Amino acid sequence: MKRRAWLKYAAGSVLLWAAGCANGKKQASVEKEKAAAAPEAEGVHTEEDEGVRISWIQDNAQERRMPNSLFQGADSALIQKLSPEGGVLASVSCFLVEKEGRRALFDTGVGAADSRLLQGLNALGVSPEAVDYLFLTHFHGDHIGGMMREGRVVFPKAEVYASQKEYDAWMQMPADKNAQVVKTMDAYRERLHLFAFDDVLPGGVKSLDGVGHTPGHTLYQVGNFLVVGDLMHGTALQLTHPEICASYDMDMPRAVKTRKRYLAYARSEGLTLAGMHFPPEGFIALK
């Protein structure tokens, strides 16, 4: 069951992040009532399911399309048929999970002058200082770019989580490829936590092997939501044809396997996908 809800973070919550939430259902119905009176800000959309509240925050200011020329692995006629406008509607997105009084941000967008992540967080009543955890799907610039602004950290209190595999792979790359990663990880060094796939992280967030797009690409499951990072760049093509890859996928055969595996998993479990390049409003429920 999905509930659309929007409300400001309840200040003063004494519930613990790791503890169960016995009042989840009651709270959800109260929030549902409030949601009717509170319109969502532009570029923000919140869903709630079994005590997990997750908000899509669109980082891109202008409409974003992934050009058909970016995709391969299928007949160009099929790609054209599925995407007749020449580009698939997409986004650059981040997700905020609020659970038991703690806030976790999944990826941080580009960090461009017109990036809207901080505006979106503000609309949800969350300051950068109030972000407790940062979970990174991978180290491409459109995912870690928002961690720094003018050479300083944007999230001064966040504990940062990334896969050991992703970290190791990027650290071995030449300087012309990894300069942004090295600088960013160094700035957060004292709060950086590297995990192995399948580790359960704070808040019961489960890390999952999403390798293919990058060497340590990670998916995260939170309740009935699966944060899929860059599992798909063009949902209009790849949901029905997971064999199609964007040229951004660093290991394409592995990316195809990973995509097929998690789409099947999400369908069998009835999960809702949250994707960093999904079209607005960021979620796709699979049943």
> Quick one: which segment of 52-60, 100-108, 187-195, 224-232 binds Zn ion (CB under 5 A)?
224-232
| Axis crossing angle, helix 164-171 with helix 175-187, rounded to the nearest 10 | 130
Q: Which residue shows structure tokens 């869903």?
A: 47
Q: Which is nearer to Zn ion, 98 or 230 (CB)?
A: 230
265: exposed, middle or buried (C-beta count within 10 Å: 0-12, 13-18, 19+)?
Answer: middle
Shortest CB 85 distance to Zn ion, Å: 21
Q: Which is nearer to Zn ion, 225 or 278 (CB)?
A: 278
> Quick one: which segment of 31-39, 146-154, 227-235, 251-259 binds Zn ion (CB under 5 A)?
227-235
Q: Which residue shows structure tokens 């929030």?
A: 31
- Of 262, 286, 234, 283, give the one whose Cα is nearest residue 95: 283
Q: Which is nearer to Zn ion, 49 or 142 (CB)?
A: 142
Secondary element (H or E) of residue 226: strand 225-229
Query: Any bridge partners for residue 98, and if so which?
Result: 53, 103
107 binds Zn ion (CB under 5 A): no
Cβ-contact 99, 17 below 8 angstroms: yes
230 binds Zn ion (CB under 5 A): yes
47 binds Zn ion (CB under 5 A): no
Shortest CB 229 distance to Zn ion, Å: 7
Shortest CB 111 distance to Zn ion, Å: 13
Establish whether the linkage from the previous residue to 281 is cis, with ω within 30° of 0.
yes
Cβ-contact 149, 111 below 8 angstroms: yes
Shortest CB 287 distance to Zn ion, Å: 26
Tell me, residue by residue from 179 to 218, as one string, x for binding to Zn ion by CB under 5 A and - for no binding.
----------------------------------------
Cβ-contact 195, 171 below 8 angstroms: no
The tokens describing 281, both together, are: 């409003």
Shortest CB 143 distance to Zn ion, Å: 6
> Quick one: which segment of 3-11, 38-46, 123-131, 139-147 binds Zn ion (CB under 5 A)?
139-147
166 binds Zn ion (CB under 5 A): no
258: exposed, middle or buried (C-beta count within 10 Å: 0-12, 13-18, 19+)?
Answer: buried
Q: What is the largest CA-CA distance in the chain?
A: 56
> Quick one: which segment of 67-75, 105-113, 174-182, 229-237 binds Zn ion (CB under 5 A)?
229-237
Shortest CB 107 distance to Zn ion, Å: 8
Q: Which residue shows structure tokens 């790359």?
A: 173
Q: Which is nearer to Zn ion, 166 or 230 (CB)?
A: 230
Shortest CB 239 distance to Zn ion, Å: 17
Q: What is the CA radius of gyration of the chain?
A: 18
142 binds Zn ion (CB under 5 A): yes
Site residue total, Zn ion (CB under 5 A) = 2
Residues forming the site for Zn ion (CB under 5 A): 142, 230
